[in-house]
């Protein structure tokens, strides 16, 4: 039985540059929040960009539910059910909340269905419903991140990949963002996220993967990784000293 | 007072034409970050299409306007594929396009100057010399028609951007290219389409210009500064801003022209460009300029 998403020996890099990922393999189990941690330059963002088709793959395999998705265009991969939220703000600042949600369902052809789904999502996020006609740029950072997350629900993806969802947000807001991430998981959406703040990521995840120099060093239940002394010293200690 | 109302009406009509002339320029900048210095010569090309269709077949420029637009739509596609698409990945794309579009403007100017010479021309449909007279108020029919058609076209463009799926994709690409791509927008195709639509708008406004102003190939150099002042006043790439800018500056120019003399009216645009860049470089509707 294949896992929901499997990455086998992937080699990828930017332009003609060196390979950032050099034989990376990971497996993503369905229904979980899986967090990838690792130092700067470990290839975390590159891995997500490669999976969603934004960065061409040089060799290796990516399988979604056992089906090969290597070589597909980003919008085709989105249609297959993988939604990527990049690190920088991913909203359209001069579009209203509702218009942003509408863009979230750009690949849907049935407009009536799209409007129904938008109403569903707004039902779940009363703050967004109140502000449905407000421009995205006029909302707070936390609300903008909430809108970004809510927007992914429109296409009802199988996997949502998040690149540092807590970046630049106040600690209290970060907790709210993770509450939304857990809500997505409880809706049956699998979450693959990466965090520079490893402690934060693992605390909220079900499964953890340690990635360094493009290789998976270790993986296991997030709680076990948090408790592992070796990993604490190498990847968590350094971070907590800096913080 | 009557005189002021008359000047205001003329300013509004001309503002509509300027808004249409500048709308393609601002659209192309908004989506592709191309400062299209060749936009005014594209308008001249559109004017020539309408001029020759009138001269040879007697087709009214208001009727030939869609033909001029369609012709420039195709020219836009060819130009984009030949010139702009190949540099799209360059980091200095915006800066490079200033030089590229300047070169394109020279080539397009040279082509029509050689083919048709640099003499002044004007299309003269029957209504070109008519006027509507309401008591003391006098409105030249040509300007009225051109103004109304322009306002309808700009309104149509606005509705297209606001309500259609493709319009959403164009706006999304303008505001956040990466995010648009991640949500499934084919940004390469949207860029091509937007460039072609912008070129078609130049063609359509050219047909109107052909009977509102007299034109000749080298006239586009003057229009670059006028159109840039409208776009900069509104905030680069902001369509609403450009439309507001077009009306505000045309009305001011109409008053200046009437009360200070026609030679001063063009200065309005240059002075406005100068003052905006000094006082509020992001324009009326632009986002604050960051140090990036």
Say what the ipTM of the complex is.
Answer: 0.85
Q: Does position A232 have pLDDT exceeding 90, yes or no?
A: no
Average pLDDT over residues A234-242: 57
The pLDDT assigned to A242 comes to 44
Average pLDDT over residues A208-216: 84
**A102: contact with B, CB 8 A cutoff:** yes
The pLDDT assigned to B40 comes to 97
Residue A14 backbone phi and psi in degrees, to 5:
-95, 130
What is the distance between the alpha carbons of residues A56 and A49, in angstroms, rounded to a whole number?
9
What is the distance between the alpha carbons of residues A208 and A198, in angstroms, rounded to a whole number?
10
Contacts of A16 in chain B (CB under 8 A): none
The pLDDT assigned to A243 comes to 41
Q: Do A90 and B179 touch (CB under 8 A)?
A: yes
Q: Token digits for A184?
A: 């997505």
Give me the residue label for tokens 């540092």.
A164
Q: Does position B292 have pLDDT exceeding 50, yes or no?
A: no
Residues 116-155 of A with CB under 8 A from B: none
Q: Token digits for A86?
A: 């990049």
Alpha carbon of B259: minimum distance to chain A alpha carbons (Å): 40
What is the distance between the alpha carbons of residues B260 and B275, in angstroms, rounded to a whole number?
20
Q: pTM (2 decimals)? A: 0.87
Would you call A210 helix, strand, or coil by DSSP?
strand
Average pLDDT over residues A198-206: 90
The pLDDT assigned to A63 comes to 95
The pLDDT assigned to B104 comes to 95
Question: Residues near A67 by Cβ (< 8 Å), separated by ≥ 6?
Answer: A80
Average pLDDT over residues A60-74: 92
Q: Does position A97 have pLDDT exceeding 70, yes or no?
A: yes
What is the distance between the alpha carbons of residues A203 and A178, in angstroms, rounded to a whole number?
10
- Where residue A239 falls among pLDDT bands split at 50, 70, 90? very low
The pLDDT assigned to B3 comes to 84
The pLDDT assigned to B204 comes to 97
Domain positions in chain B are 2-116+140-279
- The 10s digit of each residue's pLDDT in B241-260 is 999 999 999 999 999 998 88
CA distances (Å), origin A155, targets A55, A74, A92, A116, B107: 22, 14, 17, 12, 47
Alpha carbon of A238: minimum distance to chain B alpha carbons (Å): 32
**A56: contact with B, CB 8 A cutoff:** no
Q: Token digits for B279?
A: 């006082």
Average pLDDT over residues A16-32: 89
- Where residue B265 falls among pLDDT bands split at 50, 70, 90? confident
User: Which CATH fold would you assign to the domain B2-116+140-279?
Assistant: ABC transporter involved in vitamin B12 uptake, BtuC (1.10.3470)
The pLDDT assigned to A237 comes to 63
Average pLDDT over residues A112-125: 94
Q: In chain A, what are the domains?
A: 1-81+160-243 (3.40.50.300), 89-156 (no CATH)
Task: Pick from A135-149, B38-52, B122-136 the range whose average pLDDT is largest.
Answer: B38-52
- Where residue B88 falls among pLDDT bands split at 50, 70, 90? low
- The 10s digit of each residue's pLDDT in B142-156 is 999 999 999 999 999
Residue A131 backbone phi and psi in degrees, to 5:
-105, 20
The pLDDT assigned to B282 comes to 86
The pLDDT assigned to B289 comes to 60
Higher pLDDT, A169 or A115: A115
Residues 157-186 of B with CB under 8 A from A: 165, 168-169, 171-172, 175-176, 178-186
Q: With pLDDT > 90 as the criterion, what percentage of chain B qualifies?
A: 61
The pLDDT assigned to A241 comes to 45
* Residue B266 neighbours by CB distance under 10 Å: 15
SS (H, E, C) chain B: CHHHHHHHHHHHHHHHHHHHHHHHHHHHHHHHCCCCCCHHHHHHHHHHHHHHHHHHHCCCHHHHHHHHHHHHHHHHHHHHHHHHHHHCCCCCHHHHHHHHHHHHHHHHHHHHHHHHCCCCECCCCHHHHCEEEECCEEEEHHHHHHHHHHHHHHHHHHHHHHHCHHHHHHHHHHHCHHHHHHCCCCHHHHHHHHHHHHHHHHHHHHHHHHHHCCECHHHHHHHHHHHHHHHHHHCCCCHHHHHHHHHHHHHHHHHHHHHHCHHHHHHHHHHHHHHHHHHCCCCCCCCCCCCC
CB pairs under 8 A between A and B: 56
Q: With pLDDT > 90 as the criterion, what percentage of chain A qualifies?
A: 58
Residue A193 backbone phi and psi in degrees, to 5:
-130, 155
Q: What is the dihedral of CA A55, A59, A62, A63, to 10 degrees?
A: 150
Mean pLDDT rounded to a whole number for chain A = 89
- The 10s digit of each residue's pLDDT in B166-212 is 999 999 998 898 899 999 999 889 999 999 999 999 999 999 999 99
Give me the residue label for tokens 């229009």.
B223
Residue A194 backbone phi and psi in degrees, to 5:
-120, 145
Higher pLDDT, B44 or B129: B44
What is the distance between the alpha carbons of residues A103 and B179, in angstroms, rounded to a whole number?
10
**A199: contact with B, CB 8 A cutoff:** no
Contacts of A110 in chain B (CB under 8 A): none
The pLDDT assigned to B34 comes to 86
Contacts of A84 in chain B (CB under 8 A): 182
Lowest mean pLDDT among A17-31, A41-55, A227-241: A227-241
Residues 43-62 of B with CB under 8 A from A: none
Query: Strand A190-194 to strand A159-163: parallel, antiparallel, or no bridges (unpaired)?
Result: parallel
Query: Strand A190-194 to strand A33-37: parallel, antiparallel, or no bridges (unpaired)?
Result: parallel
Alpha carbon of A221: minimum distance to chain B alpha carbons (Å): 30
**A156: contact with B, CB 8 A cutoff:** no
The pLDDT assigned to B246 comes to 93
- The 10s digit of each residue's pLDDT in B15-30 is 999 999 999 999 998 8
The pLDDT assigned to B89 comes to 63
Angle, to 10 degrees, between the axis of helix B262-279 and the axis of helix B239-260?
140
CA distances (Å), origin B221, targets A125, B83, B102, B196, B277: 53, 21, 10, 22, 20
Q: Do B183 and A106 touch (CB under 8 A)?
A: yes
Residue A28 backbone phi and psi in degrees, to 5:
-115, 120
**B188: contact with A, CB 8 A cutoff:** no
The pLDDT assigned to B30 comes to 85
Q: Token digits for A94?
A: 């001069």
- The 10s digit of each residue's pLDDT in B34-73 is 889 999 999 999 999 999 999 999 999 999 999 999 999 9
What is the distance between the alpha carbons of residues B250 and B151, in angstroms, rounded to a whole number?
14
Q: Does position B291 have pLDDT exceeding 70, yes or no?
A: no
Contacts of A107 in chain B (CB under 8 A): 183-184
Q: Does position B75 have pLDDT exceeding 90, yes or no?
A: yes
Q: Do B184 and A95 touch (CB under 8 A)?
A: no
Contacts of B171 in chain A (CB under 8 A): 92, 94-95
Q: Do B180 and A103 touch (CB under 8 A)?
A: yes
């Amino acid at each position: 039985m294949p896992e929901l998403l499997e990455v086998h020996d992937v080699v990828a890099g930017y332009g003609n540059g060196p390979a950032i990922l050099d034989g990376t393999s990971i497996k993503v189990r369905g229904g979980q929040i899986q967090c990838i941690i690792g130092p700067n330059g470990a290839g975390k963002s590159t891995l997500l960009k490669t999976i969603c088709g934004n960065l061409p793959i040089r060799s290796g395999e990516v399988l979604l539910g056992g089906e090969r998705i290597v070589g597909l265009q980003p919008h085709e991969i989105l249609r297959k059910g993988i939604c990527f939220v990049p690190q920088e703000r991913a909203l359209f600042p001069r579009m209203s909340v509702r218009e942003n949600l509408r863009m979230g369902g750009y690949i849907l052809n049935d407009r009536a269905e799209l409007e129904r789904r938008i109403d569903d999502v707004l039902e779940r996020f009363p703050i967004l419903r109140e502000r449905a006609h407000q421009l995205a740029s006029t909302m707070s950072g936390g609300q903008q991140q909430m809108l970004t997350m809510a927007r992914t629900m429109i296409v009802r993806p199988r996997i949502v990949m998040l690149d540092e969802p807590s970046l630049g947000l106040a600690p209290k807001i970060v907790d709210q963002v993770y509450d939304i991430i857990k809500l997505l998981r409880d809706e049956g959406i699998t979450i693959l996220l990466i965090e520079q703040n490893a402690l934060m990521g693992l605390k909220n995840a079900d499964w953890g993967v340690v990635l360094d120099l493009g290789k998976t060093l270790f993986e296991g239940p997030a709680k076990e990784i948090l408790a592992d002394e070796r990993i604490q010293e190498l990847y968590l200690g350094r971070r907590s000293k800096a913080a | 007072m009557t005189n002021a109302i008359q000047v205001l009406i003329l300013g509004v009509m001309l503002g509509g034409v300027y808004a249409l002339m500048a709308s393609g320029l601002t659209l192309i900048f908004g989506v592709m970050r191309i400062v299209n210095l060749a936009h005014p010569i594209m308008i001249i090309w559109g004017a020539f299409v309408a001029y020759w269709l009138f001269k040879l077949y007697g087709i009214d420029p208001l009727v030939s306007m869609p033909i001029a637009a369609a012709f420039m739509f195709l020219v836009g596609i060819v130009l984009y594929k030949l010139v702009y698409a190949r540099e799209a990945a360059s980091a200095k794309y915006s800066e490079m396009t200033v030089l590229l579009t300047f070169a394109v403007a020279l080539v397009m100017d040279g082509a029509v100057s050689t083919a048709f010479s640099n003499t002044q021309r004007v299309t003269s449909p029957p209504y070109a010399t008519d006027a509507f007279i309401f008591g003391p108020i006098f409105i030249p029919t040509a300007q009225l028609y051109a103004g109304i058609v322009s306002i309808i076209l700009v309104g149509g463009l606005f509705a297209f951007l606001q309500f259609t799926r493709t319009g959403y994709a164009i706006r999304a690409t303008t505001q956040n290219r990466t995010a648009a791509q991640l949500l499934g927008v084919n940004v390469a195709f949207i860029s091509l389409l937007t460039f072609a639509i912008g070129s078609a708008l130049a063609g359509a406004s050219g047909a109107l210009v052909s009977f509102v102003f007299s034109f000749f190939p080298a006239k586009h150099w003057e229009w670059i500064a006028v159109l840039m002042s409208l776009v900069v006043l509104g905030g680069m790439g902001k369509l609403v801003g450009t439309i507001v800018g077009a009306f505000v500056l045309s009305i001011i120019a109409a008053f200046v022209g009437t009360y200070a003399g026609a030679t001063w009216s063009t200065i309005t645009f240059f002075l406005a460009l100068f003052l905006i860049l000094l006082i509020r470089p992001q324009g009326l509707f632009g986002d604050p300029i960051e140090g990036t």
